[in-house]
Amino acid sequence: MKLLQIVSLICMLSSCAEGVPSVIGTWKSNQLLTLQHSPLDSSVDETTRSKFENLFGRMTITYSRTQATSRMDADEGIEAWESVSEYRILIQTKDKLLIEWLDRRKGEWKKETLHFVNPDRYWIMLELPDGTVLGREYFDRQS
């Protein structure tokens, strides 16, 4: 009887895990989708618009079980950079992950929701420091 309960519990837990997105791997910013979902006001001058658009499609984020490594190569006035931070998953659903990551510069934990479109694509909200939402940045799985 006890074996039957254990097998039932294992089956139940494995079915709960089905469909839960995995963030482990390398992801790259999707410039086209990001710009489609993050339109700039028509009053923004062409130089500023070009700089904004050039920010997307180049950054990669590689997630292990406990760390996220973000990288961007140098390009037109932007220095190359790499940032490694600890993260942990707070809440998982079939199409969202709420993660908490350590901002080492500020020494504080911040939260971010990853909204999965499918297992190989997610988006996050693009926000200014004052909380103004600019749109969404999309990421595609690379590995």
What's the confidence (pLDDT) of residue 18?
Answer: 52
pTM: 0.83
CA-to-CA separations, 112 to 5, 71, 88, 120, in angstroms, rounded: 37, 18, 11, 18
Please name every residue paired with 118 in a beta bridge, in sequence order, or none if there are none: 121
Integer Cα distance of 81 and 68 in angstroms: 14
**Domain range 22-141, CATH architecture:** Beta Barrel (2.40)
What's the confidence (pLDDT) of residue 131?
Answer: 86
Domains of the chain by residue range: 22-141
AA identity, residue 115: H
**What are phi and psi for residue 35, nearest 5 degrees?**
-70, -30
What's the confidence (pLDDT) of residue 19?
Answer: 62
Integer Cα distance of 23 and 111 in angstroms: 15
pLDDT in tens, the chain (143 residues): 454 444 343 444 443 445 678 999 999 999 999 999 998 888 999 999 998 899 899 999 999 999 999 999 988 778 999 999 999 999 999 999 999 999 988 999 999 999 999 999 999 999 988 888 989 999 999 99
